[in-house]
Amino acid sequence: MPKMKTHKGAKARMKYSGSGKPLRMKRESSHLRRNKTKRARRQFDDTVSVAKVDAAKVRKLLPYG
């Protein structure tokens, strides 16, 4: 059976936490960043866990997490 391939677009956008939960970046974090308040820019630095309904899809795209 051939190897599973990692989806490179998903790899650039998501990662796994130490406990194995998939994490993603918040949206609107880079586009028109200098117009946003300092507080908003700071809050965009956090990663957020992926919604439970989407976690199975992420595991398919990133099988070796």
Would you say 26 and 44 are in contact if contact means Cβ atoms under 8 Å apart?
A: yes
Handedness of CA 47, 58, 15, 19 (dihedral sign): positive
Beta pairing partners, 16? 22
- pLDDT of res. 2: 87
CATH number of 8-61: 4.10.410.60
Would you say 6 and 63 are in contact if contact means Cβ atoms under 8 Å apart?
A: yes
Reading the chain (65 residues) residue by residue, the pLDDT tens digits are: 888 899 999 999 999 999 999 999 988 888 888 899 999 888 888 889 999 999 999 999 998 76
